[in-house]
Amino acid sequence: MDSESSGVTVLRPAIVHPAAMSEFETYTCEHCGESFRAHPSANAAENGYCSPACESAGKSL
């Protein structure tokens, strides 16, 4: 946080560093069977679909 002379507090976003590629794991899509890489904490790793289109088709949405 920075304080300006006017007394207003200015919030600045934190710098987020992307995960190193070595932290990514290979998964197989539940719908199309293609392999894809994702970080273990990512939604794709949790739900098993390589894309929103495959997730929709796989869940018959």
**CA 34/CA 49 separation, integer angstroms:** 9
26 contacts 37 by C-beta, under 8 angstroms: yes
- Per-residue pLDDT band for 1 (boundaries 50, 70, 90) equals very low
pLDDT tens-place string over residues 3-56:
445 678 777 766 666 666 678 999 999 999 999 999 999 999 999 999 999 999
Q: What is the pairing mode between strands 9-10 and 25-28?
A: unpaired
Torsion angles phi and psi, residue 57, rounded to 5: -65, -40
**CA 25/CA 42 separation, integer angstroms:** 10
Q: Which fold is adopted by the domain 22-61?
A: Wheat Germ Agglutinin (Isolectin 2); domain 1 (3.30.60)
pTM value is 0.61
